[in-house]
Structure 1
Amino acid sequence: MPRTKSRLFLSVLVVVGAVAYFGPTEVLEAVTGLVGNDDPVLIEQNGRQLLVGGDGESKARKCTVEVALTRRVCGDVKVVVIDAGKMPFIARNIQLAWGGGHPSILTRNSAKQGANRAAACGSFVPKYGGSCDEYAFATTDEGGSGARTEEVPLREQRCQGGAISAGYAKAKIGQGDSFLVVIATPTAVAATAYTGADEAQEQVEQCAL
Protein backbone atom coordinates (compact mmCIF):
# COMPACT_ATOMS: atom_id res chain seq x y z
CA MET A 1 0.00 0.00 0.00
CA PRO A 2 1.43 3.43 -0.93
CA ARG A 3 2.33 5.58 2.04
CA THR A 4 0.01 8.58 2.37
CA LYS A 5 1.18 12.05 3.40
CA SER A 6 -0.49 11.69 6.78
CA ARG A 7 1.19 8.34 7.43
CA LEU A 8 4.56 9.74 6.35
CA PHE A 9 4.09 12.73 8.67
CA LEU A 10 3.20 10.38 11.52
CA SER A 11 6.34 8.30 10.87
CA VAL A 12 8.50 11.42 11.00
CA LEU A 13 6.91 12.41 14.30
CA VAL A 14 7.60 8.96 15.72
CA VAL A 15 11.30 9.15 14.75
CA VAL A 16 11.67 12.68 16.11
CA GLY A 17 10.03 11.64 19.37
CA ALA A 18 12.27 8.59 19.64
CA VAL A 19 15.39 10.72 19.13
CA ALA A 20 14.23 13.07 21.89
CA TYR A 21 13.55 10.20 24.27
CA PHE A 22 16.29 7.65 23.53
CA GLY A 23 19.02 9.77 21.93
CA PRO A 24 20.27 9.95 18.32
CA THR A 25 22.83 7.13 18.51
CA GLU A 26 20.37 4.50 19.74
CA VAL A 27 17.74 5.51 17.18
CA LEU A 28 20.32 5.48 14.38
CA GLU A 29 21.34 1.94 15.32
CA ALA A 30 17.72 0.79 15.37
CA VAL A 31 16.79 2.43 12.06
CA THR A 32 19.96 1.13 10.37
CA GLY A 33 19.11 -2.38 11.53
CA LEU A 34 15.58 -2.13 10.14
CA VAL A 35 16.72 -0.77 6.79
CA GLY A 36 19.42 -3.45 6.53
CA ASN A 37 22.12 -1.35 4.86
CA ASP A 38 25.15 -3.62 5.03
CA ASP A 39 27.32 -1.87 2.43
CA PRO A 40 30.90 -1.42 3.72
CA VAL A 41 31.64 2.06 5.07
CA LEU A 42 34.98 3.90 4.88
CA ILE A 43 35.82 5.97 7.96
CA GLU A 44 38.73 8.42 7.79
CA GLN A 45 40.14 10.65 10.54
CA ASN A 46 43.46 12.49 10.72
CA GLY A 47 44.89 10.61 7.75
CA ARG A 48 44.02 7.13 9.07
CA GLN A 49 41.32 4.94 7.56
CA LEU A 50 39.36 1.83 8.34
CA LEU A 51 36.63 -0.08 6.54
CA VAL A 52 33.69 -1.62 8.37
CA GLY A 53 30.44 -3.32 7.44
CA GLY A 54 27.36 -1.13 7.42
CA ASP A 55 25.93 -2.97 10.43
CA GLY A 56 28.98 -2.00 12.50
CA GLU A 57 29.33 1.63 11.44
CA SER A 58 27.62 3.12 14.50
CA LYS A 59 29.89 1.02 16.75
CA ALA A 60 33.03 2.09 14.90
CA ARG A 61 32.09 5.76 15.18
CA LYS A 62 32.05 5.61 18.99
CA CYS A 63 35.83 6.14 19.00
CA THR A 64 38.53 7.52 16.74
CA VAL A 65 40.08 5.43 13.96
CA GLU A 66 43.39 5.61 15.87
CA VAL A 67 41.84 4.13 19.01
CA ALA A 68 40.04 1.36 17.12
CA LEU A 69 43.19 0.28 15.30
CA THR A 70 45.60 0.48 18.24
CA ARG A 71 43.66 -0.10 21.46
CA ARG A 72 41.24 -2.60 19.87
CA VAL A 73 38.33 -1.34 21.93
CA CYS A 74 35.80 1.17 20.60
CA GLY A 75 33.23 2.36 23.10
CA ASP A 76 31.59 -0.79 24.42
CA VAL A 77 32.77 -3.12 21.64
CA LYS A 78 36.03 -5.05 21.20
CA VAL A 79 37.78 -4.87 17.83
CA VAL A 80 39.68 -7.34 15.62
CA VAL A 81 41.74 -5.75 12.84
CA ILE A 82 42.51 -7.30 9.45
CA ASP A 83 45.27 -5.37 7.68
CA ALA A 84 44.73 -5.27 3.89
CA GLY A 85 48.36 -4.24 3.46
CA LYS A 86 49.32 -7.75 4.60
CA MET A 87 46.19 -9.64 3.50
CA PRO A 88 44.67 -7.88 0.46
CA PHE A 89 42.74 -10.93 -0.81
CA ILE A 90 41.39 -11.88 2.61
CA ALA A 91 40.33 -8.25 3.07
CA ARG A 92 38.61 -8.44 -0.33
CA ASN A 93 36.67 -11.53 0.74
CA ILE A 94 35.57 -9.83 3.96
CA GLN A 95 34.53 -6.66 2.14
CA LEU A 96 32.47 -8.63 -0.38
CA ALA A 97 30.95 -10.70 2.42
CA TRP A 98 29.83 -7.54 4.21
CA GLY A 99 28.29 -6.26 0.99
CA GLY A 100 26.45 -9.57 0.68
CA GLY A 101 24.86 -9.27 4.10
CA HIS A 102 27.35 -11.05 6.37
CA PRO A 103 27.80 -9.23 9.70
CA SER A 104 30.85 -7.29 10.83
CA ILE A 105 29.93 -8.01 14.47
CA LEU A 106 30.77 -11.63 15.32
CA THR A 107 30.74 -13.87 18.39
CA ARG A 108 33.78 -15.95 19.32
CA ASN A 109 33.27 -19.70 19.57
CA SER A 110 36.54 -21.54 18.97
CA ALA A 111 34.91 -24.91 19.72
CA LYS A 112 33.15 -24.70 16.37
CA GLN A 113 36.33 -24.02 14.36
CA GLY A 114 36.82 -27.51 12.93
CA ALA A 115 33.18 -28.06 12.02
CA ASN A 116 32.81 -24.55 10.61
CA ARG A 117 35.96 -24.89 8.51
CA ALA A 118 34.77 -28.21 7.10
CA ALA A 119 31.29 -26.86 6.35
CA ALA A 120 32.60 -23.77 4.58
CA CYS A 121 35.70 -25.11 2.80
CA GLY A 122 35.39 -28.90 2.81
CA SER A 123 34.54 -29.11 -0.91
CA PHE A 124 36.49 -26.03 -2.00
CA VAL A 125 39.07 -26.72 -4.76
CA PRO A 126 41.75 -24.00 -5.17
CA LYS A 127 42.57 -23.19 -8.80
CA TYR A 128 45.86 -21.34 -8.30
CA GLY A 129 47.65 -23.22 -5.54
CA GLY A 130 46.16 -21.06 -2.82
CA SER A 131 43.88 -21.76 0.12
CA CYS A 132 40.19 -21.43 0.91
CA ASP A 133 39.33 -18.37 2.99
CA GLU A 134 35.95 -18.06 4.66
CA TYR A 135 34.05 -15.22 6.25
CA ALA A 136 32.58 -15.19 8.84
CA PHE A 137 35.64 -16.63 10.65
CA ALA A 138 35.57 -20.33 11.50
CA THR A 139 36.16 -19.48 15.18
CA THR A 140 32.79 -17.71 15.46
CA ASP A 141 29.14 -18.63 15.83
CA GLU A 142 28.47 -16.96 12.47
CA GLY A 143 30.98 -19.10 10.56
CA GLY A 144 30.42 -22.42 8.82
CA SER A 145 27.75 -23.25 6.27
CA GLY A 146 26.80 -20.15 4.31
CA ALA A 147 30.12 -18.37 4.85
CA ARG A 148 31.53 -16.53 1.83
CA THR A 149 34.56 -18.35 0.42
CA GLU A 150 37.29 -17.27 -1.94
CA GLU A 151 40.78 -18.49 -2.85
CA VAL A 152 43.64 -16.54 -1.26
CA PRO A 153 47.43 -17.03 -1.11
CA LEU A 154 48.45 -19.68 1.42
CA ARG A 155 50.75 -17.10 3.02
CA GLU A 156 47.74 -14.86 3.71
CA GLN A 157 45.88 -17.76 5.33
CA ARG A 158 48.77 -18.35 7.75
CA CYS A 159 49.03 -14.61 8.35
CA GLN A 160 45.34 -14.35 9.16
CA GLY A 161 45.52 -17.19 11.67
CA GLY A 162 48.15 -15.32 13.66
CA ALA A 163 46.31 -12.01 13.29
CA ILE A 164 43.02 -13.37 14.63
CA SER A 165 44.67 -15.20 17.54
CA ALA A 166 46.66 -12.10 18.45
CA GLY A 167 43.56 -9.96 17.99
CA TYR A 168 41.58 -12.10 20.43
CA ALA A 169 44.39 -11.83 22.97
CA LYS A 170 45.00 -8.10 22.56
CA ALA A 171 41.32 -7.16 22.83
CA LYS A 172 40.73 -9.76 25.58
CA ILE A 173 38.00 -11.47 23.54
CA GLY A 174 36.86 -14.57 25.40
CA GLN A 175 34.57 -17.39 24.35
CA GLY A 176 31.07 -16.01 23.83
CA ASP A 177 32.27 -12.41 23.52
CA SER A 178 31.09 -10.34 20.57
CA PHE A 179 33.55 -8.21 18.62
CA LEU A 180 33.71 -5.89 15.63
CA VAL A 181 35.82 -6.74 12.57
CA VAL A 182 37.45 -3.80 10.77
CA ILE A 183 39.85 -3.57 7.83
CA ALA A 184 42.97 -1.42 8.19
CA THR A 185 44.81 0.02 5.15
CA PRO A 186 41.61 -0.27 3.06
CA THR A 187 43.28 1.24 -0.03
CA ALA A 188 45.25 -2.02 -0.30
CA VAL A 189 42.19 -4.29 -0.61
CA ALA A 190 42.63 -6.45 -3.75
CA ALA A 191 40.57 -5.14 -6.64
CA THR A 192 40.21 -8.53 -8.34
CA ALA A 193 40.13 -12.18 -7.32
CA TYR A 194 43.35 -14.09 -6.64
CA THR A 195 44.90 -15.71 -9.73
CA GLY A 196 48.25 -16.85 -8.35
CA ALA A 197 50.16 -13.63 -7.63
CA ASP A 198 50.67 -12.42 -4.06
CA GLU A 199 50.00 -8.66 -4.18
CA ALA A 200 50.49 -7.77 -0.50
CA GLN A 201 52.48 -4.67 0.41
CA GLU A 202 53.96 -6.66 3.32
CA GLN A 203 54.41 -10.33 2.48
CA VAL A 204 54.93 -11.75 5.95
CA GLU A 205 54.07 -15.28 7.05
CA GLN A 206 52.86 -14.57 10.58
CA CYS A 207 50.86 -11.44 11.38
CA ALA A 208 50.53 -10.75 15.07
CA LEU A 209 48.87 -7.37 14.68
Structure 2
Amino acid sequence: MTTGSKTGMLLPLVLVAGAVVYFGGSEVQDTVAGLLSSDSVIVGAGDEQVLVAGGAESEVEQCTAEKVLSEKRCGDLKVIVMSAAKMPYIARNISLAWGEGHDFILTKDGKNRAANYNQTCRKTFVKKYDDGSCDEYAFASSVQGGKGARTEEVPAREQACQGGTLSTAYRYQGIGDGDDFLVVISNPGKIASVPYQGQDVAEDKTSCGS
Protein backbone atom coordinates (compact mmCIF):
# COMPACT_ATOMS: atom_id res chain seq x y z
CA MET A 1 0.00 0.00 0.00
CA THR A 2 1.03 3.62 -0.18
CA THR A 3 0.53 6.75 1.83
CA GLY A 4 0.30 10.12 0.14
CA SER A 5 0.73 13.75 1.07
CA LYS A 6 -0.95 16.89 -0.20
CA THR A 7 2.09 17.42 -2.43
CA GLY A 8 1.37 14.22 -4.32
CA MET A 9 4.54 12.49 -3.19
CA LEU A 10 4.01 8.84 -2.40
CA LEU A 11 5.98 6.87 0.15
CA PRO A 12 5.95 3.12 -0.57
CA LEU A 13 4.96 1.08 2.46
CA VAL A 14 4.88 -2.67 2.42
CA LEU A 15 3.23 -4.83 5.05
CA VAL A 16 5.65 -7.72 5.44
CA ALA A 17 4.27 -11.07 6.50
CA GLY A 18 5.88 -12.30 9.69
CA ALA A 19 7.50 -8.94 10.47
CA VAL A 20 5.50 -8.46 13.63
CA VAL A 21 7.30 -7.03 16.62
CA TYR A 22 5.98 -5.11 19.60
CA PHE A 23 6.50 -1.51 20.68
CA GLY A 24 5.13 -1.15 24.18
CA GLY A 25 2.28 -3.50 23.33
CA SER A 26 1.47 -1.92 19.95
CA GLU A 27 1.92 -4.05 16.89
CA VAL A 28 4.27 -2.65 14.27
CA GLN A 29 2.00 -1.85 11.38
CA ASP A 30 4.27 -1.35 8.38
CA THR A 31 7.81 -2.02 7.29
CA VAL A 32 9.31 0.55 4.93
CA ALA A 33 10.87 -1.03 1.87
CA GLY A 34 12.49 -0.03 -1.40
CA LEU A 35 13.60 3.58 -1.17
CA LEU A 36 14.07 3.55 2.59
CA SER A 37 15.79 1.13 4.91
CA SER A 38 14.32 -2.34 4.55
CA ASP A 39 14.38 -2.84 8.31
CA SER A 40 12.98 0.53 9.38
CA VAL A 41 9.56 0.17 10.94
CA ILE A 42 6.55 2.38 11.50
CA VAL A 43 5.07 1.98 14.96
CA GLY A 44 1.87 3.33 16.43
CA ALA A 45 -1.33 4.24 14.65
CA GLY A 46 -3.10 7.24 13.17
CA ASP A 47 -1.50 10.55 14.07
CA GLU A 48 0.69 8.83 16.64
CA GLN A 49 3.11 7.05 14.35
CA VAL A 50 6.89 7.21 14.32
CA LEU A 51 9.47 5.68 12.04
CA VAL A 52 12.35 4.03 13.86
CA ALA A 53 15.45 2.33 12.52
CA GLY A 54 15.61 -1.43 12.63
CA GLY A 55 16.69 -2.41 16.12
CA ALA A 56 15.46 0.79 17.74
CA GLU A 57 12.17 -0.78 18.78
CA SER A 58 14.06 -2.86 21.33
CA GLU A 59 15.38 0.35 22.92
CA VAL A 60 11.87 1.65 23.60
CA GLU A 61 9.89 -1.55 23.98
CA GLN A 62 8.45 -0.44 27.33
CA CYS A 63 6.94 2.73 25.83
CA THR A 64 4.19 3.59 23.39
CA ALA A 65 4.56 5.80 20.34
CA GLU A 66 2.23 8.28 22.06
CA LYS A 67 4.57 8.50 25.06
CA VAL A 68 7.63 8.98 22.86
CA LEU A 69 5.94 11.82 20.96
CA SER A 70 4.52 13.58 24.01
CA GLU A 71 7.34 13.14 26.52
CA LYS A 72 10.33 12.89 24.13
CA ARG A 73 11.80 10.11 26.22
CA CYS A 74 11.39 6.48 27.13
CA GLY A 75 12.66 5.62 30.58
CA ASP A 76 16.16 7.04 30.84
CA LEU A 77 16.56 7.30 27.07
CA LYS A 78 15.92 10.78 25.68
CA VAL A 79 14.32 11.04 22.24
CA ILE A 80 14.62 13.69 19.54
CA VAL A 81 11.68 13.70 17.12
CA MET A 82 12.24 14.95 13.58
CA SER A 83 8.97 15.81 11.84
CA ALA A 84 8.65 14.65 8.24
CA ALA A 85 5.66 16.99 7.86
CA LYS A 86 8.02 19.93 8.50
CA MET A 87 11.22 18.40 7.09
CA PRO A 88 10.37 15.80 4.41
CA TYR A 89 13.81 15.90 2.80
CA ILE A 90 15.75 15.82 6.06
CA ALA A 91 13.59 12.90 7.15
CA ARG A 92 14.46 11.22 3.86
CA ASN A 93 18.18 11.69 4.48
CA ILE A 94 17.91 10.30 8.01
CA SER A 95 15.94 7.24 6.95
CA LEU A 96 18.31 6.51 4.08
CA ALA A 97 21.26 6.92 6.44
CA TRP A 98 19.73 4.34 8.77
CA GLY A 99 19.48 1.99 5.81
CA GLU A 100 23.20 2.47 5.20
CA GLY A 101 24.02 1.50 8.77
CA HIS A 102 24.33 4.89 10.47
CA ASP A 103 23.47 4.94 14.17
CA PHE A 104 19.98 5.66 15.46
CA ILE A 105 21.28 6.45 18.94
CA LEU A 106 23.63 9.44 18.84
CA THR A 107 25.86 11.09 21.44
CA LYS A 108 25.84 14.88 21.68
CA ASP A 109 29.14 16.64 20.94
CA GLY A 110 28.50 20.35 20.55
CA LYS A 111 32.16 21.28 20.86
CA ASN A 112 33.03 19.67 17.53
CA ARG A 113 29.89 20.68 15.61
CA ALA A 114 31.62 23.22 13.36
CA ALA A 115 34.54 20.91 12.62
CA ASN A 116 32.19 18.03 11.83
CA TYR A 117 30.10 20.21 9.53
CA ASN A 118 33.20 21.42 7.73
CA GLN A 119 34.27 17.83 7.06
CA THR A 120 30.97 16.85 5.49
CA CYS A 121 29.35 19.92 3.99
CA ARG A 122 32.00 22.56 3.34
CA LYS A 123 34.82 20.55 1.80
CA THR A 124 33.18 18.44 -0.89
CA PHE A 125 29.42 19.06 -1.01
CA VAL A 126 28.12 20.97 -4.05
CA LYS A 127 24.51 22.13 -3.99
CA LYS A 128 22.39 22.33 -7.14
CA TYR A 129 19.79 24.91 -6.09
CA ASP A 130 20.10 28.50 -4.86
CA ASP A 131 17.86 27.89 -1.86
CA GLY A 132 19.36 24.47 -1.15
CA SER A 133 21.47 23.53 1.84
CA CYS A 134 23.66 20.59 2.81
CA ASP A 135 22.11 18.26 5.36
CA GLU A 136 24.19 15.65 7.15
CA TYR A 137 23.34 12.58 9.23
CA ALA A 138 24.61 11.71 11.73
CA PHE A 139 24.15 15.29 12.99
CA ALA A 140 27.26 17.45 13.08
CA SER A 141 26.53 18.12 16.76
CA SER A 142 27.01 14.45 17.60
CA VAL A 143 30.04 12.23 18.18
CA GLN A 144 28.91 10.16 15.20
CA GLY A 145 28.88 13.22 12.89
CA GLY A 146 31.68 14.44 10.68
CA LYS A 147 33.64 12.29 8.27
CA GLY A 148 31.50 9.53 6.79
CA ALA A 149 28.15 11.19 7.50
CA ARG A 150 25.50 10.89 4.79
CA THR A 151 24.78 14.18 2.98
CA GLU A 152 21.90 15.29 0.81
CA GLU A 153 20.62 18.65 -0.41
CA VAL A 154 17.52 19.99 1.34
CA PRO A 155 15.66 23.34 1.37
CA ALA A 156 17.38 25.97 3.48
CA ARG A 157 14.17 26.38 5.50
CA GLU A 158 14.34 22.72 6.49
CA GLN A 159 17.94 23.14 7.58
CA ALA A 160 16.95 26.04 9.82
CA CYS A 161 14.02 23.98 11.11
CA GLN A 162 16.31 21.11 12.02
CA GLY A 163 18.66 23.47 13.81
CA GLY A 164 15.77 24.85 15.84
CA THR A 165 14.48 21.38 16.63
CA LEU A 166 17.89 20.20 17.83
CA SER A 167 18.76 23.31 19.85
CA THR A 168 15.36 23.24 21.55
CA ALA A 169 15.68 19.54 22.35
CA TYR A 170 19.21 19.93 23.68
CA ARG A 171 18.16 22.83 25.92
CA TYR A 172 14.80 21.72 27.27
CA GLN A 173 15.51 18.00 27.48
CA GLY A 174 18.82 18.58 29.19
CA ILE A 175 20.90 16.80 26.54
CA GLY A 176 24.50 17.77 27.21
CA ASP A 177 27.78 16.73 25.62
CA GLY A 178 28.30 13.04 26.21
CA ASP A 179 24.58 12.28 26.56
CA ASP A 180 22.94 9.68 24.31
CA PHE A 181 19.62 10.23 22.55
CA LEU A 182 17.43 8.26 20.17
CA VAL A 183 16.36 9.77 16.83
CA VAL A 184 12.88 9.00 15.48
CA ILE A 185 10.78 10.44 12.65
CA SER A 186 7.18 11.57 13.16
CA ASN A 187 4.61 11.81 10.34
CA PRO A 188 6.48 9.13 8.37
CA GLY A 189 3.96 9.20 5.53
CA LYS A 190 5.30 12.67 4.64
CA ILE A 191 8.89 11.58 3.99
CA ALA A 192 10.00 12.75 0.53
CA SER A 193 10.18 9.88 -1.93
CA VAL A 194 12.58 11.63 -4.31
CA PRO A 195 15.64 13.89 -3.83
CA TYR A 196 15.17 17.65 -3.45
CA GLN A 197 14.41 19.31 -6.79
CA GLY A 198 14.41 22.96 -5.84
CA GLN A 199 10.93 23.23 -4.30
CA ASP A 200 10.04 23.29 -0.61
CA VAL A 201 7.11 20.87 -0.49
CA ALA A 202 6.70 20.53 3.29
CA GLU A 203 3.09 20.31 4.42
CA ASP A 204 3.85 22.20 7.66
CA LYS A 205 6.09 25.28 7.49
CA THR A 206 5.40 26.55 11.01
CA SER A 207 8.12 27.37 13.52
CA CYS A 208 10.49 24.59 14.59
CA GLY A 209 11.80 26.14 17.80
CA SER A 210 14.84 28.33 18.37
TM-score between the two structures when normalised by the length of structure 2: 0.78
Q: How is 1:39-188 mapped onto 2 (pairs within 5 angstroms)?
A: 39-45=39-45, 47-122=47-122, 123-129=124-130, 130-188=132-190
Amino acid at match of 1:148: R
- Aligned pair count reads 172
Does the C-alpha gap of structure 1 residues 48 and 125 become closer, same or farther in structure 2, counting only changes over 3 Å? same
Amino acid at match of 1:89: Y
Runs of 4 or more above 2 Å deviation: none
> What are the superposed Cα offsets for residues 102-153 of structure 1, whole Å, 9 maximum, x if unpaired?
0110000100101100111122111022000000000000000000000000
Q: Please identify, of 167-176 and 191-200, the stretch whose mean Cα deviation from structure 2 is larger.
A: 167-176
CA distance in 2, matches of 1:141, 1:65: 26
Cα RMSD of the aligned pairs, angstroms, is 1.7
> What are the superposed Cα offsets for residues 54-112 of structure 1, whole Å, 9 maximum, x if unpaired?
13221133211111111111122100010000000000000000011001100001001
Does the C-alpha gap of structure 1 residues 78 and 86 become closer, same or farther in structure 2, counting only changes over 3 Å? same
State the SS of the aligned residue for 2:59.
helix
Does the C-alpha gap of structure 1 residues 89 and 158 become closer, same or farther in structure 2, counting only changes over 3 Å? same
State the SS of the aligned residue for 1:85.
coil
CA distance in 1, matches of 2:74, 2:38: 19
CA distance in 1, matches of 2:171, 2:72: 10
CA distance in 1, matches of 2:72, 2:173: 5
- Percent identity of equivalent pairs: 51
- 8 Å Cα contact 1:55-1:103 kept in structure 2: no
Higher-Rg member (1/2): 1
Unaligned runs of 5+ in 2: 1-36
Higher helix share: 1
The alpha carbon displacement at 1:46 in A equals 6.1
TM-score between the two structures when normalised by the length of structure 1: 0.78
